[in-house]
């Protein structure tokens, strides 16, 4: 049903315009008590066997909304209403910025993928922090906050920019993510080099601890799929060294070759980060490598090309405690989280594992 609606309506709209329209509908539905109760009952059924604990936080299940959909923390309850077990907002920058010039979001429908060069368009950390502070939650859900560098801030001042965001946003975050892996902010990916990443993560950790003294805000880093294997290993080792709580694998890719893309060559040549189904194999490969390196010492979050319950189950067996999706939501619509949860619960029941936690990393731990 949704696929027909998408083909007849959304596919004819500019992708960014369609995004804003869908977000408004979701937010409005979440404001109407009877309607949101009905929608949540239909789209967000709970499965006891999927209950998950990650970095000390309890969640209804392992499946959340990746950063990028709700940049400004305006649709948290709406996305929880649709069944996402956690919602990661952002990316939020130290200062407000409009992002890159339009047109900056492209659908590769034949590949079930997106290309974006949004450029961290957001209201800035001060406004988003105020919005989170004034929020009265309708649905209980874990809220992650993803922070990045303001575009006009030079690389040598990046640490201070991240620290500003961390100090403002950590009090309102169930967990905090340092994004150094978007391809759409010049120089940002250079911060993934361990020599740059160590002082950045250390400073953000200290800022979060200063801002929140009553609890420890979990800190994660989000990495790119385009890192060389030895660099993935280096980030994993650094995360263990610094006592990070998690690594998110992965962000979008700048690669185009070798992905089997069948969409129009004109679209494929658009610059920006590619997300969706073509990213599946590399994201899974990076996840497996991370788990082989860090084991259970750090919580891993698998994202990139997660379309189905089978995809989510594969990520869990590869080492992910949590799984996220975004691009597939555009193509699957409001039943995305519901169908994924249903299928994931079925796979767990059919598996040899008593709990979801038992399944985490099982494929990587198998003797070869």
Distance (Å, whole) CA 58 – CA 189: 32
On whether the CB atoms of residues 68 and 15 are closer than 8 A, the answer is no
Residue 202 is a catalytic residue: no
**Chain segment 3-40, per-residue pLDDT in tens:** 888 888 888 999 999 999 999 999 999 999 999 999 99
Q: In the predicted model, what is the mean pLDDT of the chain?
A: 97
Residue among 23, 182, 275, 283 flagged as catalytic: 182
Q: What is the mean pLDDT of residues 348-363?
A: 98
Q: What is the mean pLDDT of residues 274-293?
A: 98
Question: 250 a known binding residue?
Answer: yes
Q: Which residue ranges make up each domain of the chain?
A: 2-360
Question: 52 a known binding residue?
Answer: no
pTM for the model stands at: 0.97
Distance (Å, whole) CA 152 – CA 97: 9
Question: 122 a known binding residue?
Answer: no
Angle between helix 336-350 and helix 309-317 axes, rounded to 10 deg: 50
Question: 276 a known binding residue?
Answer: yes
On whether the CB atoms of residues 346 and 309 are closer than 8 A, the answer is yes
Assigned token pair, 38: 């009905």
**Chain segment 142-179, per-residue pLDDT in tens:** 999 999 999 999 999 999 999 999 999 999 999 999 99
The CATH number of domain 2-360 is 3.40.50.150 = no
pLDDT value of residue 368 = 61
Question: 69 a known binding residue?
Answer: yes
Question: 158 a known binding residue?
Answer: no
What does the DSSP assignment read for 153-166? Answer: S-GGGHHHHHHHHH
């Amino acid at each position: 049903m949704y696929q027909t609606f998408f083909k007849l309506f959304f596919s004819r709209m500019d992708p960014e315009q369609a995004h804003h329209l869908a977000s408004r509908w979701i937010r409005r539905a979440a404001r109407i008590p009877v309607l949101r109760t009905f929608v949540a009952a239909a789209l967000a059924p709970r499965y006891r066997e999927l209950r998950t604990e990650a970095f000390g936080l309890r969640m209804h299940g392992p499946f959340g909304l990746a950063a990028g959909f709700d940049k400004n923390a305006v649709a948290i309850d709406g996305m929880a209403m649709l069944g996402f077990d956690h919602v990661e907002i952002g990316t939020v920058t130290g200062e407000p910025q409009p992002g890159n010039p339009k047109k900056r979001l492209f659908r590769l429908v034949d590949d079930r993928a997106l290309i974006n060069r949004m450029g961290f368009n957001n209201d800035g950390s001060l406004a988003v922090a105020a919005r989170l502070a004034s929020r009265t939650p309708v649905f209980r859900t874990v809220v992650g906050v993803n922070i990045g560098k303001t575009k006009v801030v030079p690389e040598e001042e990046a640490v201070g920019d991240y620290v500003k965001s961390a100090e403002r946003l950590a009090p309102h975050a169930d967990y905090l993510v340092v994004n150094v892996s978007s391809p759409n902010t010049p120089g940002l990916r250079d911060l993934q080099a361990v020599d740059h990443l160590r002082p950045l993560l250390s400073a953000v950790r200290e800022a979060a601890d200063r801002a929140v003294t009553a609890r420890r805000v979990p800190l994660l880093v989000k990495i790119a799929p385009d890192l060389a294997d030895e660099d993935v290993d280096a980030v994993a080792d650094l995360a263990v060294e610094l006592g990070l709580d998690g690594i998110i694998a992965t962000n979008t890719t700048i690669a185009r070759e070798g992905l089997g893309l069948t969409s129009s060559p004109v679209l494929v040549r658009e610059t920006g980060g590619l997300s969706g189904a073509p990213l599946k194999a590399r994201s899974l490969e990076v996840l497996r490598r991370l788990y082989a390196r860090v084991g259970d010492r750090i919580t891993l979050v698998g994202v990139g090309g997660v379309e189905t319950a089978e995809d989510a189950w594969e990520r869990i067996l590869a080492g992910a405690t949590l799984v996220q999706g975004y691009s597939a939501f555009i193509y699957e619509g409001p039943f995305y989280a519901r169908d994924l949860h249903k299928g994931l619960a079925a796979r767990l029941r059919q598996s040899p594992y008593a709990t979801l936690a038992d399944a985490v990393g099982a494929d990587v731990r198998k003797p070869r």
